[in-house]
Amino acid sequence: MAEVRREVFGQLPPEQGGGVVEKFVLESDSVRVEILSLGCIIAALETKGRDGEFSDVVLGFDTLEGYTRKHPFFGAVVGRVANRIAKGRFTLDGKEYQLFLNNGPNSLHGGARGFDKVLWSPQVLPNGVCFFRLSPDGEEGYPGDLKVWVTYTLSGRELAINYRAQTTKTTPISLTNHAYFNLAGQGSRDIYDHEISIEADSYLPVDDTKIPTGEVAAVQGTSFDLRQPVELGKHFQKFHLDGFDHNFCLQQAQARRLVARACHPPTGRTMEVHTTQPGIQFYTGNNLDGSLKGKGGVTYPKHSAFCLETQNWPDAVNKPHFPTALLQPGEEYNHTTWFLFNT
Q: Which of 22, 139, 158, 309 is catalytic?
A: 309
DSSP string, 130-147: EEEEEE-TTGGG--S-EE
100 vs 12, 25, 74, 325, CA distance in Å? 23, 34, 21, 19
Residue type, 264: H
Q: Is 178 a catalytic residue?
A: yes
Task: Please give the backbone phi and psi of residue 91, each rounded to the nearest 5 degrees, phi first.
Answer: -120, 130
Domains and CATH numbers, the chain: 3-342 (2.70.98.10)
Q: Is 109 a catalytic residue?
A: no
170-208 pLDDT, tens digit per residue, is: 999 999 999 999 999 999 999 999 999 999 999 999 999
Q: Which of 178, 194, 303, 335 is catalytic?
A: 178
Please answer whether residues 132 and 123 qualify as being in contact, where contact means their C-beta atoms are separated by less than 8 angstroms.
Answer: yes
Instruction: Check residue 16 and give its pLDDT.
Output: 85
Q: What angle do CA 197, 198, 199 make, to 5 degrees?
A: 125
Q: Among residues 338, 302, 32, 330, which one has the least CA distance to residue 189?
A: 302
274 marked as part of a ligand binding site: no
Instruction: Check residue 254 and give its pLDDT.
Output: 82
325 marked as part of a ligand binding site: no
184 marked as part of a ligand binding site: no
Instruction: Check residue 252 and give its pLDDT.
Output: 84
Instruction: Check residue 253 and give its pLDDT.
Output: 82
Instruction: Check residue 2 and give its pLDDT.
Output: 87
179 marked as part of a ligand binding site: yes
93 marked as part of a ligand binding site: no
DSSP structure class, residue 308: E
Please answer whether residues 106 and 211 qualify as being in contact, where contact means their C-beta atoms are separated by less than 8 angstroms.
Answer: yes
Instruction: Check residue 11 and give its pLDDT.
Output: 96
Distance CA 159, CA 92 (A): 36
41 vs 29, 181, 248, CA distance in Å? 22, 13, 24
83 marked as part of a ligand binding site: yes
Q: What angle do CA 86, 92, 95 make, to 5 degrees?
A: 100
Instruction: Check residue 1 and give its pLDDT.
Output: 77
Three-state SS at 28: coil
Low-confidence ranges of the chain (pLDDT < 70): none
